[in-house]
Amino acid sequence: MMDDLKSLYQEVILDHSKSPRNFGKIEPHTTEGHGDNPLCGDQVTLYVNVDDAGIITDISFEGKGCAISTASTSLLTQLVKGKSKGEATELFGQFQDMVTSSPEDTNRSEAPDELKVLAGVKQFPMRVKCATLSWHALKAALENKAALATSE
C-alpha cells in the first residue's frame, strides 16, 4: 500500500506542494486562466505573460489546492516558462497521455522527466483531475484574448 502512495507522493511532489514555485500574482500580465475543480472546490488561477512572438515570458499562480494539484501547478509554471504557446500545448498533451490510462495520441513523444514525477497519479483515477486542473487553466489562458482577460 505504501508503495503506491510513495509513488504518488514523491519527495518532489511533497516539496513543491509545501513550497510552491512561482506562487503569487505577476502584474502586469497579458492573460490569465482559471481552473475550478467542482469535485473538491479547489481553484487555481494562472497569470501569464506572452510576448509578441508567442513566448511565455513569465507565469505565476494563485489558489488553494491539494498536494497533487499544487505540485502539478508549480511544476507547470517552471516548465513552460520560456516556452512557446505551441510547445506548452504539446506538453499538456504529453502530460495527459501520461496520467490517463488510454493515451489519445500514441505517436506523441513522452513527457519530460520533470513531469514524470506525477506519473503515479495514473494509479489513482479519482486524482487525475487534481493533476490536470492547472493545465486546463493554462490552456484557457493561452486561448484567451489578452485584452479581455486582463480587463477584469
Partner 1 sequence: MNDMTTFDVEKIRRDFPIFEEKIHGKRLTFLDSGASAQKPQVVLDAVKSAYAETYANVHRGVHYLSQKSTELYEGARETVRAHLNAESLDEVIFTKNTTEAINLVAQSYGLMALKPGDEIILSYLEHHSNIVPWQLIAERMGATVKAVPINQDGEFLMEEFEKLLSEKTKIVAVTHVSNAIGTIVPVKEIIAKAHDKGVPVLIDGSQAVPHMQVDVQDLDADFYVFTGHKLFAPTGIGVLYGKNKWLEQMPPYQGGGDMINRVTFEKTTYATGHSKFEAGTPPIVQAIGLGTAINYVNEIGFDKIGAHEQSLLAYATEEIRKLNNVRIIGDAPHKAAIVSFTMDGIHPHDIGTIIDQAGVAVRVGHHCAQPLMDFYDVPSTVRASFAMYNNRDDVDALVDAMQMVQRFFA
Q: Give the one residue of 64, 109, 112, 114 binding partner 1; rule: CB under 8 A.
A: 64
146 forms part of the interface with partner 1 (CB under 8 A): no
43 forms part of the interface with partner 1 (CB under 8 A): yes
Q: Identify which of residues 68 and 115 has a Cβ nearer to partner 1 in the complex.
A: 68
Q: Which stretch binds partner 1 (CB under 8 A): 21-29, 64-72, 85-93, 102-110?
A: 64-72
1 forms part of the interface with partner 1 (CB under 8 A): yes
Q: How far apart are CA 99 and CA 111, in angstroms?
A: 10
Beta-bridge partners for 62: 45
Using CA atoms, how far residue 8 sits from 66, 79, 95, 97, in Å, is 13, 20, 15, 17
126 forms part of the interface with partner 1 (CB under 8 A): yes
If we measure between CA atoms, which residue out of 63, 23, 60, 71 comes closest to residue 41? 63
Locus of grid cell 467542482: 38
23 forms part of the interface with partner 1 (CB under 8 A): no
Between strands 56-64 and 31-37, the pairing is: unpaired
**Site map 77..116 versus partner 1, x via CB under 8 A:** ----------------------------------------
Q: Give the one residue of 12, 26, 40, 140 binding partner 1; rule: CB under 8 A.
A: 40
The H-or-E segment that residue 45 falls in is strand 42-50
Q: What's at 15, amino acid-wise?
A: D
